Structure 1
Amino acid sequence: MKRLVAGIMTATLVAMTGAALAAPPADTLAEVKKKGVLVAGVKDSLPPFGYIDEKSRQIVGYDIDFVNAIARKLGVKVELKPVTSASRMPQLQEGNIDLIAATMTKNPERAKQIDFSHTYFFTGQKFITRKGSVKSLKDLEGKKIGTAKGSTSEQNAKKALPSSTVLSFDDYPQAFLALQQGKVAAVTTDEAILAGILAKAPNKERFEIPNVQISDEPYGIGMRKGDKAFVDFVNKTILEMEKSGEAKKIFDKWFGPHTQFHLKRNFKITADK
């Protein structure tokens, strides 16, 4: 019996020690500088924010360029970890990544759980539909709408279209495949993401993004709650990027008139109130 109790106590102590080792750092800024690597949670199938380049086989995109700029400022290397809309916050809170740069909308519910940087991208939630099928929101009432699990798009669609059925997929490309197959009447998320999906579609002439918007979507870089030194550093960095013109340069690289994702830059990075 004593041997059994001792064994249980030892196992418990090992488990507690392992848990302590796995705990996220209290000061991410100091820890990242110490280890020399910034681990970022990013999308890997969502052009032009984060996707695998066919030639280099590396993850590239708008979000990745911001991560690289932050890492350069820190003087560290970058490790990119693919995340989904549903997995990104748990990955951050468990300490598996240092920050989230993955098309993440800032909202009060999320802000209770993690901290956000100033807005570094601004867009609005719209729909991809079959060409000519939707002129107003009313045309989508009672229909099946596709989106991604764990996204704000999921919640916004349910609020805007209470009579519709919102079907949630692992990612937006899967939702778009459902639209192509006629399983949903529309795919909804932020316009910038929809533009990326549509640009890559082989049969894009059959689809469109109607001028039907249901929300504003400000993107922030996500960091652990209360990690003030790191949040301050990231905010200072992206404000400097705006001032120097680097932020606009990154936008033009991915969304400028010469790109297939052409959007107008209707925002500047400023200190959030």
Structure 2
Amino acid sequence: MRRFFFSGATALCLTLFGHAASADQLADIKAKGTLVCGTLGTAEPFSFPNPQTREIQGYDVDFCKAIADSLGVKLELRLVAVPARITELQQGRVDILAANLGWTSERAQQIAYSDSYFASLQKVAVRRNSGIKTLDELGGKRVSAIKGSTSEMGVRKAIPTASPVTFQDAPAAFLALQLSKVDGLALSELVLVKYKQQAENTTPIDIVEKPLMLEAWGIGMRKDEAALIEQVNGALRKLDQSNAATAIFDKWLGASSPYGMRREFQIAPIKG
């Protein structure tokens, strides 16, 4: 059996060559002519199958397309599971992530985040006949939330005198509101909008306008890829300045969508 030995200089050259070959992901993406964007594919209205064509579409997908266009390359979508998102990115199976990726300090230690391109608002719903209109009016009252969720944390911070009543899932927390066991329900605004539609003919609810808190979502990228991070942030800022970002929001979440939401945020750096 032959054995191969490398001198220290040769090994150093190979190491440096390997590092250089993978040091500029932006150049690699342009060279291959394709941007691989990891997305969930199961999260309406962010990335989900078109009922007719089965093609993946949505808010996240449109941002992926816009970033690919800014690079002058084709877009390839790759579906990822929530628990595997960061692993898929770190192992190079996707170039970027647009996959409902809320910023956390733990994740930020593993990957780089772009500026925030979506803000997931945590809000409170109340029964319409309660007369409650503001968060302050929930002081001293019971508010349901999912145990350990950002919504629960938001209640404790924004309404310190309220009493959070926690449940294992959103349906149970919603039922508590319908049965008048609690005075408010804290959840993501998107979920509350759906519950409001469902409850209109039974126990109507309203959503308090002021949010409890805001969870910033960013495009996920590998660390130490300064050129790609700068490119993505530049593309996002141009979308905001041209109102294209607002158009994407309105298309999937705005007044003419089933959600009827208003865009109350701008693309901006995420502050941890």
Q: Which runs of 5+ in 2 are unaligned?
A: 4-17, 133-137, 157-162, 177-181
Matched, 1:229 2:227: yes
The alignment's TM-score, normalised by the length of structure 2, stands at 0.68
Q: Which residue does the alignment assign to 2:73?
A: 76
How many equivalent pairs are there? 235
| Structure 2 CA distance for partners of 1:130 and 1:47, relative to 1, 3 Å | farther
Distance in 2 (CA, whole Å) between partners of 1:230 and 1:236 is 10
Q: Which residue does the alignment assign to 1:60?
A: 57
Secondary structure, aligned partner of 2:149: helix
Question: Which has the higher Rg, Structure 1 or Structure 2?
Answer: 2
Distance in 1 (CA, whole Å) between partners of 2:57 and 2:154 is 33
Secondary structure, aligned partner of 1:237: helix
Spell out, residue by residue over 1:69-95, the C-alpha distance to the aligned partner (whole angstroms, 9 max, x if none).
Answer: 111122222222233443322221222
Aligned residue type for 2:35: L
Distance in 1 (CA, whole Å) between partners of 2:94 and 2:130 is 42
Q: Does the 8 A contact of 1:48 with 1:196 survive in 2?
A: no
Distance in 2 (CA, whole Å) between partners of 1:263 and 1:94 is 36
Matched, 1:157 2:152: yes
CA RMSD, Structure 1 to Structure 2 (Å): 3.9
Q: Which residue does the alignment assign to 2:104?
A: 107
Distance in 2 (CA, whole Å) between partners of 1:198 and 1:82 is 28
Q: Which residue does the alignment assign to 2:248?
A: 250
Range with bigger deviation, 64-73 or 156-165? 156-165
Distance in 2 (CA, whole Å) between partners of 1:74 and 1:101 is 16
| Structure 2 CA distance for partners of 1:198 and 1:112, relative to 1, 3 Å | same
| Structure 2 CA distance for partners of 1:166 and 1:78, relative to 1, 3 Å | farther
Matched, 1:266 2:259: no
* 1:240 aligned residue (231, 234, 238): 238
Q: Does the 8 A contact of 2:117 with 2:236 survive in 1?
A: yes
Q: Which residue does the alignment assign to 2:33?
A: 36
Spell out, residue by residue over 1:234-267, the C-alpha distance to the aligned partner (whole angstroms, 9 max, x if none).
Answer: 0111111122221121112122222111111222
Q: Which residue does the alignment assign to 1:91?
A: 88
Q: Which residue does the alignment assign to 2:9?
A: none
> What is the correspondence of 1:207-218 to structure 2 with a 5 Å cutoff?
208=205, 210-211=207-208, 213-218=211-216
Aligned residue type for 1:51: F
Q: Which residue does the alignment assign to 1:45?
A: 42
Range with bigger deviation, 229-238 or 208-217? 208-217
Q: How far did residue 125 of structure 1 move?
A: 1.5
What's the % identity of the aligned pairs? Answer: 32
Secondary structure, aligned partner of 1:78: strand
Distance in 1 (CA, whole Å) between partners of 2:153 and 2:23 is 37
Q: How far did residue 232 of structure 1 move?
A: 0.3
> What is the correspondence of 1:192-203 to structure 2 with a 5 Å cutoff?
193-194=190-191, 197-198=194-195, 203=198
Q: Does the 8 A contact of 2:166 with 2:173 survive in 1?
A: no
The alignment's TM-score, normalised by the length of structure 1, stands at 0.68
Spell out, residue by residue over 1:107-157, the C-alpha distance to the aligned partner (whole angstroms, 9 max, x if none).
Answer: 33322221111121224223578877996486556x6x448xxxxx83553
Distance in 1 (CA, whole Å) between partners of 2:52 and 2:146 is 30
Q: Does the 8 A contact of 1:176 with 1:187 survive in 2?
A: no
